[in-house]
Amino acid sequence: MALIELSEIRDAAERIRGKVHHTPLLSASLLGDRARVRLHLKCENFQKTGSFKPRGALNKVLALSPAERSKGLITVSAGNHAQAVAWAARQVGAPCAVVMPEDAPRSKLDAVRGYGAEVILHSDRATLFDKLDEERESRGAVFVHPFDDPVVLAGAGTVGLEIAEDLPEARAVIVPVGGGGLMCGVACAVKAVAPGTRVIAVELAAGPGLTPALQAGKPVHVSRPAMTLADGMTPPFVGAIPLEAARLLVDEIVTVSEKEIVAAMELLLTRAKLYVEGSGAAATAALLAGRVLLPEETVTVAIVSGGNVDLASVCAAVAGAPLQAGGGTGAGVPR
């Protein structure tokens, strides 16, 4: 399985330059002091549509020929990836359809429709990919995979490229893992530019997918929690390309609990003034909870992967109320 080359990531950066944000890398001294590191936050919550996802989606769309775009795009998701593909399709005037579960949060359904995409509702989350295959075959549309397409992954890699170029003294990068697309792109970029920088992957303790796949030596379907604020970390499996990147390039894999994520969300909101989703807080949570142990004063980057989360759910979680179904951003499906 071929990894993503630095040249592909640089090509993606040029292709999407000026069309997505070069997101800020903000120092977080107070939070860093708690972990005794020099902490910076890569704020993808400020990206178009509120997450890192448009980088890969737009790179894929712009790499297609006019004839391919005319066939339309299709994907499957109930969260950030759905919005990103819908947004990217609108940029080039391409038709777009998104297979989404019927119980997806209403705000996410409205956002996808707001970008002009057709929403195809499906009742059974377990067979969402079957529905996708059915629709793709009948429409002849181009599938934009959330986390296992090399062109999409090269776009995600621009996050790592910006970190390496903006903060060359960084010696550790912490990245959340769901399907593994962000982890793969970041690891490929960072290790190519600065091989000595540690890349640390963070999984959800209640439903890790990367570790079981590494143990099996192949992508495997895993059981994930139905209700979590970190639903971006709960797709049904990790992609094959990200799995290979993890095997070759990731230095450490840790897990964080829902409680630790909620605590990090609260601190990011009150101390760093950043409104983030559970997945976006996971990297910071791993550091603050002591899951990641680094030498004192290590220049460290925690990637804040997105900020799309319902305000009521955040308030309830911080207050200690149990999560309700649909309270996150589309649990259990790829983003």
DSSP 20: B
Q: What is the mean pLDDT of the chain?
A: 92
Q: How many CB atoms lie within 10 A of CB 12?
A: 29
Residue corresponding to tokens 């894999």: 253
Rounded CA-CA distance 90/276 in Å is: 25
Going by C-alpha positions, the residue among 318, 288, 279 that lies closest to residue 51 is 279
Class of domain 54-143: alpha beta
Residue type, 26: L
Q: Is the pLDDT of residue 44 over 70?
A: yes
Span 311-331, average pLDDT: 67
Tokens standing for 131?
């529905």
Instruction: Point out the least confidently predicted range of 59-63, 128-132, 166-170.
Output: 128-132
Residue 224: predicted pLDDT: 82
- Long-range contacts formed by 5-8: CB under 8 A, 24+ apart: 5/188, 5/192, 6/188, 6/189, 6/192, 6/193, 8/150, 8/154, 8/157
Tokens coding 264: 């990090």
pLDDT at 323 over 80: no
Of 326, 286, 290, which is closest to residue 302 (Cα–Cα)?
A: 286
Distance CA 305, CA 88 (A): 18
pLDDT, tens digit (0-9, with 9 covering 90-100), for 253-299:
999 999 999 999 999 999 999 999 999 999 999 999 999 999 999 99
DSSP state letters, 123-165: S-GGGHHHHHHHHHHHHTPEE--SSS-HHHHHHHHHHHHHHHH
Fold of 6-51+149-319: Rossmann fold (3.40.50)
Q: Where are the alpha helices (DSSP H) in 167-289?
A: 181-193, 210-216, 240-249, 258-270, 278-288
Only one residue has tokens 């807080």, namely: 281
Show which residues are catalytic.
53, 305
Single pTM value for the model: 0.93
Q: Report the pLDDT value the prediction gives residue 322, as an integer from 0 to 100.
A: 66
Q: Please, are residues 13 and 55 in contact by the beta-carbon 8 Å criterion?
A: no
Gap between the Cα atoms of 27 and 86, Å rounded: 32
Cα torsion through 14, 21, 241, 253, rounded to 10: 140
| Predicted confidence (pLDDT) at residue 333 exceeds the cutoff of 50 | no
- Give yes or no for residue 102 having a pLDDT over 90: no
In this model, does residue 103 exceed pLDDT 50?
yes
- Give ranges for CATH 3.40.50.1100 in the chain: 6-51+149-319, 54-143
| Cα separation, 76 vs 296, whole angstroms | 42
Residue 20 and residue 159: Cα distance in Å, rounded? 11
Tell how strand 118-122 and strand 142-143 pair up: unpaired
Q: What is the pLDDT of residue 235?
A: 86
Nearest by Cα to 6 from 165, 143, 148: 165
How far is 144 from 58, CA to CA, in rounded Å? 10
User: Which of 230, 232, 237 minimizes the C-alpha distance to 209?
Assistant: 237
Confidence tier at 332 by pLDDT (50, 70, 90)? very low
Record the tokens describing residue 36, joined without a space: 């005794």
Contact in structure between 72 and 97 (CB atoms under 8 Å): yes
Convert the pLDDT of each residue in 161-180 to its tens digit.
999 999 999 999 999 999 99
What confidence score (pLDDT) does residue 165 get?
97
Higher pLDDT, residue 322 or 261: 261
